[in-house]
C-alpha cells in the first residue's frame, strides 16, 4: 500500500510538472514579434489535404480576392472543378505531344485563370470533389490512374487514337471527384459554370506574370523553364529590386499576388510560421533568436535557380506586408495547409526570402505602377 501511495505521489508530481512545462511552452513568447502594416482583403485559409494542388488553392484564393476587390462579393469557389478541367487539358496536351512533356498534378496560379475562362467556375458547396469516403483531398491513387490511362492511350497498338480515350479520362475524374452539376443556385439565381464565371468575369488578358532572372532580357516577356509551367506561360522579366517594388506597390494599392516559390529549404519553418534566409543555415540559434539574414542579390537569385535550390515546389497567395520588432520587412502569406502553425494557416516570409526563392508572381496589370507598365510596354 505504501509503495502504491509513493508511486501515486510521484505520478501526481510528474503530472503537475508536465502540465507546468506545457503551460510554459504555450505561454512562451515568439522570438519574432510580427506586426502587420498592410493587409489586403481576401478569403479564409483553405486546406489542400494530401494533394499536390497548391497552385489551384492559391489560384482560387487569388480569384476570390479579385472578385471581392472588383465586385464586392465573397465566394468560396471549388478548387476541384478547376483541378479536373486542368487534368483534361494536361492529358490532351500530353497525348498531342506523344508523351514528350510533363504530366503531373502540379501547375501554376495562372492555370486557374485559364481553366475558369474556358470551363467556368462554381461554388465549393456544389462541387467539393470529395466522393471517395474521405473528409480531405486524397489524390495519390487518382493521379496514378489518370497517368496510366494517358500513357496507355499513347502506347496503344492501333497506331491511331479513338474517341474512347478522352471518355476514359473523364470516367476516372467522375469516379474520384464526382460528376459535375449542370446547374446550381447562388443567391436565389440559377447558373451554369460558364454563366457564373461570366457574371463575375475575371479576364485572363488583364493578368500577367512577373519574374527576375539575370539570364533573360529585362522588360521583356520570357519563358520560365520549370516543370509545372505546363501551359508554357511567359513572364515579364525585371531586376530583382524592381520586382520587389512591384510587389509592394500592388499590396499597398489593394491587390493580392499569386506566388510560385520554393519551401524546401532550412529557412522555411512550419513550426514557426516563418520564411527567412539566414546567413548561416546551420546556426544553432536559428529560431531561438533573430538571426542575421543574407542580403540576396540578383546573382544570388539566379544561382539558386540554376542550382535547383529555388524551384516552384509550392504556390501561395501574398496578402500583406508586416515587420518584426527590429523593423525587418516581411510579407503575409496565405497558405493552403489548413489552420496549422502559430499564425493559423498564414506564414510571414521576409523580404530576403522572396528575393531568394521567388519563381514568379501572378497579378493584375493595374497592380503595377504606370511607370512600370510603361517600362514593360503594357
Greater model confidence, 353 or 24: 353
Q: Which residues pair with 323 in a beta bridge?
A: 35, 329
The pLDDT tens digits of the residues spanning 241-255 come to: 999 999 999 999 999
What 3-state class would DSSP assign to 11? Answer: helix
pLDDT confidence tier of residue 2, bands split at 50, 70 and 90: very low
The pLDDT tens digits of the residues spanning 128-137 come to: 999 878 889 9
Percentage of the chain modeled with pLDDT above 90? 87
The pLDDT tens digits of the residues spanning 14-58 come to: 444 444 444 444 556 889 999 999 999 999 999 999 999 999 999
Inside any domain, residue 311 = yes
Lowest mean pLDDT, pick from 153-157, 194-198, 349-353: 153-157
What 3-state class would DSSP assign to 314? Answer: strand
Residue 232 burial class via C-beta count within 10 angstroms: exposed 0-12, middle 13-18, buried 19 and up: exposed
Inside any domain, residue 2 = no
Inside any domain, residue 117 = yes
pLDDT at 10 over 70: no
Question: Which pLDDT belongs to residue 108?
Answer: 97
361 near 259, Cβ under 8 Å?
A: yes
Look up residue 202 and give its three cell numbers. Answer: 475575371
Inside any domain, residue 129 = yes
**Average pLDDT in the 59-73 region?**
98
Beta-carbon contacts of 158 under 8 Å, excluding residues fewer than 6 positions away, are none
Inside any domain, residue 163 = yes
**Average pLDDT in the 313-321 region?**
97
The pLDDT tens digits of the residues spanning 217-248 come to: 999 999 999 999 999 999 999 999 999 999 99
**Angstrom distance (rounded) from CA 321 to CA 37:** 6
At 44, give phi and psi (nearest 5°): -65, 160
Inside any domain, residue 23 = no
Question: Which pLDDT belongs to residue 9?
Answer: 44
What 3-state class would DSSP assign to 96? Answer: helix
Look up residue 35 and give its three cell numbers. Answer: 506586426
Inside any domain, residue 156 = yes
Inside any domain, residue 101 = yes
- The enclosing domain of 114 has a CATH number of 3.90.70.10
Percentage of the chain modeled with pLDDT above 70? 93
Number of domains present in the structure of the chain:
1
Other Cβ atoms closer than 10 A to 308: 9
The pLDDT tens digits of the residues spanning 109-123 come to: 999 999 999 999 999
At 320, give phi and psi (nearest 5°): -175, 180
pLDDT at 3 over 80: no
**Full domain range(s) for residue 98:** 35-376
Helix axes 109-119, 79-96, angle to 10 degrees: 90
Amino acid at each position: 500500500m505504501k509503495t502504491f501511495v509513493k508511486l501515486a505521489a510521484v505520478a501526481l508530481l510528474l503530472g503537475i510538472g508536465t502540465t507546468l512545462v506545457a503551460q510554459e511552452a504555450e505561454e512562451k513568447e515568439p522570438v519574432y514579434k510580427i506586426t502587420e502594416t498592410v493587409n489586403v482583403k481576401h478569403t479564409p485559409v483553405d486546406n489542400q489535404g494530401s494533394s499536390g494542388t497548391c497552385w489551384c488553392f492559391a489560384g482560387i484564393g487569388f480569384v476570390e480576392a479579385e472578385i471581392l476587390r472588383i465586385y464586392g462579393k465573397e465566394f468560396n469557389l471549388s478548387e476541384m472543378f478547376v483541378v479536373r478541367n486542368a487534368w483534361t487539358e494536361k492529358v490532351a496536351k500530353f497525348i498531342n505531344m506523344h508523351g514528350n512533356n510533363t504530366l503531373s498534378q502540379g501547375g501554376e496560379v495562372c492555370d486557374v485563370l485559364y481553366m475558369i475562362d474556358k470551363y467556368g467556375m462554381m461554388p465549393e458547396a456544389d462541387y467539393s470533389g470529395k466522393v471517395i469516403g474521405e473528409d480531405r483531398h486524397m489524390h495519390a491513387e487518382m493521379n496514378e490512374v489518370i497517368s496510366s490511362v494517358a500513357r496507355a492511350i499513347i502506347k496503344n497498338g492501333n497506331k491511331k487514337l479513338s474517341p474512347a480515350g478522352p471518355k476514359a479520362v473523364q470516367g476516372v475524374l467522375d469516379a474520384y471527384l464526382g460528376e459535375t452539376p449542370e446547374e446550381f443556385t447562388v443567391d436565389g439565381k440559377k447558373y451554369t459554370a460558364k454563366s457564373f464565371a461570366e457574371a463575375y468575369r475575371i479576364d485572363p488578358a488583364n493578368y500577367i506574370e512577373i519574374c527576375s532572372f539575370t539570364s533573360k532580357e529585362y522588360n521583356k516577356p520570357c519563358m520560365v523553364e520549370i516543370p509545372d509551367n505546363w501551359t508554357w506561360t511567359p513572364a515579364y522579366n525585371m531586376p530583382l529590386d524592381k520586382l520587389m517594388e512591384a510587389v509592394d506597390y500592388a499590396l499597398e494599392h489593394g491587390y493580392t499576388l499569386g506566388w510560385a516559390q520554393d519551401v524546401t529549404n532550412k529557412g522555411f519553418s512550419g513550426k514557426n510560421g516563418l520564411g527567412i534566409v539566414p546567413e548561416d543555415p546551420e546556426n544553432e540559434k536559428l529560431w531561438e533568436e533573430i538571426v542575421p539574414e543574407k542580403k540576396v542579390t540578383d546573382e544570388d537569385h539566379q544561382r539558386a535557380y540554376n542550382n535547383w535550390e529555388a524551384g516552384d515546389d509550392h504556390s501561395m497567395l501574398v496578402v500583406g506586408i508586416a515587420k518584426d520588432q527590429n523593423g525587418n520587412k516581411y510579407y503575409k502569406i496565405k497558405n493552403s495547409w489548413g489552420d496549422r502553425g502559430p499564425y493559423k494557416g498564414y506564414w510571414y516570409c521576409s523580404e530576403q526570402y522572396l528575393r531568394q526563392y521567388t519563381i514568379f508572381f501572378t497579378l493584375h496589370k493595374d497592380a503595377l505602377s504606370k511607370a512600370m507598365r510603361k517600362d514593360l510596354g503594357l
